Amino acid sequence: MVYENARILVTGATGNVGRLVVDALLARGARDVRALTVNPARAALPSGVEVVTGYLGRPASLPAALDGVDRLYLAPLPATAAEVCSMAAAAGVSHIVDLAGEKGGPWQVVEDAVEACGVPWTHLEPGEFMTNTGVWAAQITAGDEVRDTCGDVVNAPIALEDIAEIAAKVLLEDGHAGRSYYLTGPEAVSRREKVAALGAALGRELTFVDLPRDAGVEQLSLVMGEHAEWYVNGLESLAEYPQAVDPAAAELLGRPGMALTEWARRHADLFRPAEIAGR
């Protein structure tokens, strides 16, 4: 069964993934999409979308947003996940599709909360986002060297557009309840190869300068702050256990996922000076 007429609430609807989920639902023919946002006046959501004020971090703001909702896309906010899911269950939501991460990781609390509330669920568990290459944007804008660490560490990053399309499919179809989908991109690439792909999209030759651990943490802290050491710890784990491509995303999409080279071409302006990108 397809649920084009179901009332679907997208939380985090102006976030990086949630905004794309709104678009993907409309592209698939959804007719009753409700978008939760902190500031409706600035949301700039498509016409035909019902925009409501609220924030997952303030559960008291959610009763009106949940009223009459059949299916829910739950953005990942661990701090209030249990309370929000209990409210969704009480409001009569029939299916929750949550964005989480690899099992056992920092987003596990979201999955636990969803399962505990008693509503049928589907977990989306993406690996690293292609947008994380944005940590190099300032360096690439300024020159042809990217100074970082763990250059040979391999994973299979996924495009946000593909995550959103999968979320929309799962929200609109039967057959996904009780499933956990581990989502990767279509190819496993090293950090060094990611930099090369960005350079190709920009028509430039970029060089990855591989720094020792401490220098790498220091460099990443310029854009990640206190999370830099945690991120490098994760990279070192990947060095021991590289992430392989999982077929789930391609099977759900009915096509190969977006390759990093294509993503880089589409988003090349992220790595160009503002005066050039704006032309």
More confident residue, 7 or 278: 7
Share of the chain above pLDDT 90, in %: 92
Q: How confident is the model at residue 277 (pLDDT cuts 50, 70, 90)?
A: low
Could you read off the pLDDT of 220-254 as tens digits, one per residue?
Answer: 999 999 999 999 999 999 999 999 999 999 999 99
Structure tokens at 98: 């949550």
The pLDDT score that the predictor gives to residue 33 is: 98
Question: Beta strand pairing status for 95-99 and 32-37?
Answer: unpaired
Q: Read off the pLDDT of residues 123-175 as tens digits, 9 standing for 90 and up.
A: 999 999 999 999 999 999 999 999 999 999 999 999 999 999 999 999 999 99
Cβ contacts of 80-87, under 8 Å, gap ≥ 24: 80/56, 81/109, 81/110, 81/113, 81/114, 82/109, 82/113, 82/116, 82/117, 83/59, 84/11, 84/56, 84/59, 84/113, 85/113, 85/114, 85/116, 85/117, 85/119, 86/117, 87/59, 87/62, 87/63
Least confident of 40-44, 79-83, 175-179, 238-242: 40-44
Global confidence as pTM: 0.95
Left (φ > 0), alpha (ψ -120 to 50) or beta: where does 48 sit?
left
Q: How far apart are CA 49 and CA 52, in angstroms?
A: 10
> For 86-125, how does the pLDDT look when each residue is reduced to its tens digit (9 = 90+)?
999 999 999 999 999 989 888 999 999 999 999 999 999 9
Count CB-CB contacts under 10 A for residue 173: 14
For the chain, which residues make up each domain, given as ranges? Answer: 7-126, 130-157+186-244+256-273
Rounded-to-5 percentages of helix, strand, coil across the chain:
45, 20, 35
User: Which residue, chain included where needed, has tokens 């929200």?
Assistant: 171
Fold classified for 130-157+186-244+256-273: Rossmann fold (3.40.50)
Q: Which two tokens stand for residue 252?
A: 């759900």
- Given a cut of 80, whether residue 39 has pLDDT beyond it is yes
Evaluate whether 170 touches 176 at the Cβ level (below 8 Å).
yes
What are the C-alpha distances in Å from 248 to residues 32, 37, 180, 240? 28, 30, 10, 23
What is the radius of gyration, based on Cα positions, of the chain? 20
Answer whether 7-126 and 130-157+186-244+256-273 agree in fold.
yes
∠ CA 158-160-164, rounded to 5°: 115
* Mean of the per-residue pLDDT values of the chain: 95
Quote the DSSP letter at residue 30.
Answer: -
Query: Hey, what CATH class is 7-126 in?
Result: alpha beta
